[in-house]
Amino acid sequence: MERIKTLRGFRDIYGEEVEKLRFIEITSRKYFELFGYKEIITPILENTGLFIRSIGDTTDIVEKEMFTFRDLSGESVTLRPEATAGIVRAYLETGMFAKERISKLFSIGPMFRHERPQKGRYREFRQIDVEVFGIDDPIIDAELIWMTSFILKEIGLEKKYTIEVNSVGCPVCRANFKNIIVDYFEAKEEGLCNDCKRRLHKNPLRIFDCKNTQCKEIGATSPMLYDNLCESCKIHFNGFLEYLNILKLNVIINKRLVRGLDYYTRTVFEFISNDLGAQNAFLAGGRYNNLVEAMGGPNVPGIGFAIGMDRLAMLINEPVKKAPPQFFFAYLGDRAKALIIPFMERFIETQLKLSYLPQAKSLKSQMRYADALKADYVLIVGDDEIEKGIIVIRDMKRGNQINIPLDISSLIQNLSAFFEK
């Protein structure tokens, strides 16, 4: 019978990669707690209008990449392509905006974009998303970068990435800049792709985000928004750079850095790794001071970022260290087998992991199985050991073994002494 496979761009994640994703998640959660963030869980399926309005109707995501369909009641719904839109909606819908002066939130889960799959680019991928509402001071822009540097250091990536920053200004500087670049692109309109010809009069800044090679070439020599920022955006960006300096965080100012979503104002940033290939950004974000208002809320500034977990996991080379040691119970004969349940009971009570192979035929097959499970220690019990009142403990890494009395309580105590040797 023909097998049904996963959809293109979707994948199963198991084994070591799951351990890496969990490691990223646990480490991130630890620092979110220390920096005062609270978790929010929002729906994966939302009203399509939410994304059109927030991300922007001329962006690639909205124009080409959304998993949108009509549900059984005829409503247009979309699998979330990113988390910010849903979190802003929730911030308003739950009334959080009225209860808290500052809201610091994080969320973890799958996102969906109908992009062309390639290394590090999937149609279902996972993000760790962080959002802060209520602070315009650039100290928070720098604090976000600072917090990620702790997370990335603990994951083992210190100095293995670069941080690119830029300012995309506000509606005031953008209105002036629009005239400048419309003039520039109009003179080169022939060379632009059809999408960009359309964007030229609707949303010319989107041309900078086009993936077409010729549009990229034309955009590469254009005037830059960075050189046309209004006074208050300049002050904000300089403040951001000063805080980064105080925090000793090295960044590269990339004046041509633009983002694929329309809601950004002022600070934007991307974390880039050379070890990722073409899809080299594993973390990205920025400020969105007008989004909350545009979504029907009060005038509250916001800033955030998302870690692309699938990409970050690709950067972890070392196997993730298992925190507690793992034990395996190898038995020979029915009397020894009868010890499995009382042993497991005590191990679980003590928060220790003990595995075994049901229906084991030989000691050899059990040792092979323990090896495959990457057990740290194997406890071996047979009729002989029961007669003598002992249990053999084998250290799988070092290959040595010792005998200790066959008594579960003293065994548990002895085990901790055994690790220290």
Contact residues: ligand HAM, CB under 6 A: 82-84, 113, 115, 120-122, 125, 127, 129, 131, 260-261, 281-286, 304-306, 308, 310-311
Query: At 85, which amino acid appears?
Result: A
Beta bridge partners of 317: none
Closest CB 65 distance from ligand HAM, rounded Å: 8
Q: What is the Cα–Cα distance from 128 to 84, expressed in whole angstroms?
A: 11
Question: Which residue number, 122 or 146, has a Cβ lying nearer to ligand HAM?
Answer: 122
Closest CB 184 distance from ligand HAM, rounded Å: 26
Question: Which residue number, 149 or 366, has a Cβ lying nearer to ligand HAM?
Answer: 149
Closest CB 71 distance from ligand HAM, rounded Å: 24
Handedness of CA 243, 249, 250, 255 (dihedral sign): negative
Closest CB 28 distance from ligand HAM, rounded Å: 14
Task: At 54, list the tokens.
Answer: 């927030």
Closest CB 121 distance from ligand HAM, rounded Å: 4
Question: Which residue number, 20 or 311, has a Cβ lying nearer to ligand HAM?
Answer: 311
Closest CB 84 distance from ligand HAM, rounded Å: 4
Closest CB 382 distance from ligand HAM, rounded Å: 51
Question: Which residue number, 54 or 366, has a Cβ lying nearer to ligand HAM?
Answer: 54
Q: List Cα–Cα distances, 371 to 325, 329, 355, in angstroms.
A: 14, 12, 12
Tell me the residue number closest to ligand HAM, measured at CB. Answer: 308
Pairing of strands 252-253, 162-167: parallel
Question: Which residue number, 85 or 196, has a Cβ lying nearer to ligand HAM?
Answer: 85
What 186-189 contacts at long range (C-beta under 8 Å, 24+ apart), as own/partner pairs, is 188/218
Question: Which residue number, 274 or 351, has a Cβ lying nearer to ligand HAM?
Answer: 274
Question: Which residue number, 117 or 239, has a Cβ lying nearer to ligand HAM?
Answer: 117
Closest CB 115 distance from ligand HAM, rounded Å: 5
Q: List Cα–Cα distances, 301 to 113, 167, 173, 224, in angstroms.
A: 27, 15, 17, 24
Question: Which residue number, 195 or 385, has a Cβ lying nearer to ligand HAM?
Answer: 195
Task: At 338, list the tokens.
Answer: 């009868």
Closest CB 273 distance from ligand HAM, rounded Å: 10
Question: Which residue number, 6 or 194, has a Cβ lying nearer to ligand HAM?
Answer: 6
